[in-house]
Copies of this chain bind each other. A is one copy, B any other.
Amino acid sequence: MSILSAEDRNRLIVAATEAKEFSYSPYSRFRVGAALLSTDGKIIKGANIENASYGGAICAERTAIVKAASEGIRSFVGLAVTSDVASSIAPCGICRQVLREFCALDMPVLLVPADYPQPGAEGDGGILDTTLEGLLPHSFGPEHLELPRQS
């Protein structure tokens, strides 16, 4: 796993928490904030933006990724995700797949509880530290589309 500095960890946690304020989630009432740290040190924030047609919802993580990618930022060193619940909520599978397109499998992912830092929690105040591969093993990616077909 790549290592984030304490400062970068903190920047990501703060940014994800700020990002959550702009969640548009009238249907789920489940606010999520996400923040990406790019290789060149920029923070890109995202929040979940829901839709009356539920399938049109775009989560916080995907909002952050397309925001970055559409501004030419496509190399990342870390992701933090937070919500309003006192657990480490993980990205949905859709977001894991979209992250896979641009992020290395060993990119650190911080799943941050709403009440971070939790007193007495193990590790860093209740954060679940994982990686993209920790969330999406045996992933499907661009290289698979290049494989020769047998028929």
Min CB distance A25 to B, Å, is 9
Contact residues of A: prevailing secondary structure: loop
Stoichiometry, as copies per complex, reads 4
Q: Which of B56, B64, B86, B128 contacts A97 (CB 8 A)?
A: B56
- Contact assessment for B24 and A74 in the assembled complex, using a CB-CB cutoff below 8 Å: yes
- Contact assessment for B53 and A92 in the assembled complex, using a CB-CB cutoff below 8 Å: yes
Residues of B within 8 A of A151 (CB): 84, 114
Interface size on A, as a range, is 35 or more
Residues of B within 8 A of A88 (CB): 138
When A and B form their complex, which 7 residue pairs have the shortest distance between CB atoms, in order from nearest? A93-B97, A53-B92, A93-B93, A54-B57, A84-B149, A93-B96, A85-B147
